[in-house]
């Protein structure tokens, strides 16, 4: 049997085993007090417990395993991460944002309930994340580190900032070609476009757009993925060298994950994705596929996968206490995520 297929099955088994404990923690933690309005609690649990990959909390568990930690110590971080992710999806799906009717094969939150309740459920899940970190992590030092890292990665300089650039780009492009030229010129001035593997083949305007796109993805998708690994590592009292290696690993994983999303939206279908396909092109979003085409995007994806593996394989000596086959799982994970179908 080929090594790659064995690795893929191992990663799938790891996700399945970890998901059971993550889902149990989510259900236990999200037992909201009777003072919480029943409809609001239902809306929060509807999105928080919805079927999904549980990628971010699984990455927190993986980091804890890599650094020799105890999984149960990472559970508050898992719940906080999934709460932030659920809130971001609720708001992404709203009419003012992506205006989606389906999420994970089910009606989006504002379709299942109503728009006002969906907004409030997202708001409540965001604050619930930080409440969980500050009250469920026993070590004050670790709790503060987790709150600081998560708030930085998902705020205006991280995830929310990336979402703003993403939304504003789509909004601007819908106004006409002239607006595209103007914003393209602004990007040339605003973005420091360092040379990359694709830059030599692009003209100046495309180089600037490529740099801008990577900046969006680094914050919109990558920031929470980096936070997941670092929060899991914090709970295991990781060293600064381990945190540095995991940060680089997370940055490349985040880029690969978003590139795969771009490809799936371009070539996938509604039933497989569990949401509407081809909406990026319809809404005028800047994606790797819209800028570079499918073939070149796939090449960049493979480059990201290779970079993710190197980020850990070159620093293997930093993780001598890894448990649960974590190091081998971490090396196989980038390829596994790049080949996902939803």
Cα end-to-end distance, the chain, whole Å: 25
**The pLDDT value given to residue 195:** 46
Burial 146-158, CB ≥16 within 10 A → b, else e: bbebbeebbeeeb
- If you write DSSP's letter for every residue of 219-286 in order, what string do you get? IIIIHHHHHHHHHHHHHTT--HHHHHHHHHHHHHHHHHHHHHHHHHHHH--HHHHTS-SSHHHHTT--
Q: Measuring CA to CA, which residue among 193, 325, 336 is closest to residue 256? A: 336
Q: Measuring CA to CA, which residue among 339, 326, 338, 293 is closest to residue 58? A: 326
**The pLDDT value given to residue 124:** 98
Dihedral angle, C-alpha 12, 239, 314, 214, nearest 10 °: 70
What whole-number distance in Å separates Cα of residue 307 and Cα of residue 215? 18
pLDDT tens-digit readout, 226-241: 999 999 999 999 999 9
**CB contact at 8 A, 242 and 319:** yes
pTM of structure? 0.88
**The pLDDT value given to residue 198:** 53
What whole-number distance in Å separates Cα of residue 64 and Cα of residue 76? 12
**The pLDDT value given to residue 9:** 87
* Beta bridge mates, 39: none
Burial 240-273, CB ≥16 within 10 A → b, else e: eebbebbebbbbbbbbbbbbbbbbbbbebeeeeb
**pLDDT tens string for the chain (342 positions)?**
333 444 788 999 999 999 999 999 999 999 999 999 999 999 999 999 999 999 999 999 999 999 999 999 999 999 999 999 999 999 999 999 989 999 988 999 999 999 999 999 999 999 999 999 999 999 999 999 999 999 999 999 999 999 998 888 877 766 555 555 545 545 554 444 444 555 555 666 677 788 888 889 999 999 999 999 999 999 999 999 999 999 999 999 999 999 999 999 888 666 655 555 567 666 667 888 888 889 999 999 999 999 999 999 999 999 999 999 999 999 999 999 999 887
**The pLDDT value given to residue 197:** 52
**The pLDDT value given to residue 182:** 46
**CB contact at 8 A, 226 and 250:** yes
- If you write DSSP's letter for every residue of 289-324 in order, what string do you get? HHHH-HHHHHHHHHHHHHHHHHHHHTTGGG-TT--T
Q: Please give the class, per CATH, of domain 3-338.
A: mainly alpha
User: What are the boundaries of each domain within the chain?
Assistant: 3-338
Here the tokens at position 165 are 């650039």
Q: Quick one: DSSP state of residue 107? A: E
**The pLDDT value given to residue 291:** 84
């Amino acid at each position: 049997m080929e090594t790659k297929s064995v690795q893929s099955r191992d990663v799938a088994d790891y996700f399945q085993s970890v998901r059971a404990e993550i889902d149990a923690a989510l259900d236990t933690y999200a037992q909201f007090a009777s003072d919480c309005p029943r409809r609001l609690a239902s809306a929060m649990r509807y999105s928080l417990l919805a079927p999904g990959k549980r990628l971010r909390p699984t990455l927190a568990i993986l980091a804890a395993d890599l650094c020799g930690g105890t999984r149960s110590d990472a559970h508050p971080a898992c719940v906080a991460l999934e709460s932030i992710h659920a809130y971001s999806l609720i708001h992404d799906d709203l009419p003012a944002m992506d205006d989606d009717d389906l999420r994970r094969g089910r009606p989006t939150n504002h379709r299942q309930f109503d728009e006002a309740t969906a907004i409030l459920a997202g708001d409540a899940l965001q604050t619930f994340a930080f409440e969980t970190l500050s009250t469920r992590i026993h070590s004050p030092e670790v709790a503060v580190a987790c709150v600081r890292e998560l708030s930085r990665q998902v705020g205006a300089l991280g995830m929310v900032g990336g979402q703003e650039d993403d939304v504003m780009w789509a909004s601007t492009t819908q106004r006409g070609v002239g607006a595209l030229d103007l914003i393209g010129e602004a990007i040339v001035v605003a973005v420091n476009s360092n040379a990359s593997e694709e830059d030599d083949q692009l003209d100046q305007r495309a180089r600037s757009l490529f740099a801008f796109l990577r900046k969006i993805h680094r914050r919109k998708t990558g920031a929470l993925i980096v936070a997941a690994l670092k929060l899991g590592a914090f709970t295991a009292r990781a060293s600064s060298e381990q945190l540095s290696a995991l940060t680089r690993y997370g940055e490349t994983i985040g880029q690969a994950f978003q590139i795969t999303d771009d490809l799936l939206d371009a070539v996938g279908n509604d039933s497989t994705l569990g949401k509407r396909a081809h909406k990026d092109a319809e809404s005028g979003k800047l994606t790797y596929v819209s800028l570079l085409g499918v073939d070149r995007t796939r090449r960049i994806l493979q480059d990201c996968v290779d970079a993710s593996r190197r980020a850990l394989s070159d620093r293997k000596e930093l993780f001598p206490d890894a448990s649960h086959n974590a190091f081998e799982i971490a090396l196989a994970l980038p390829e596994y995520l790049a080949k996902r179908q939803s």
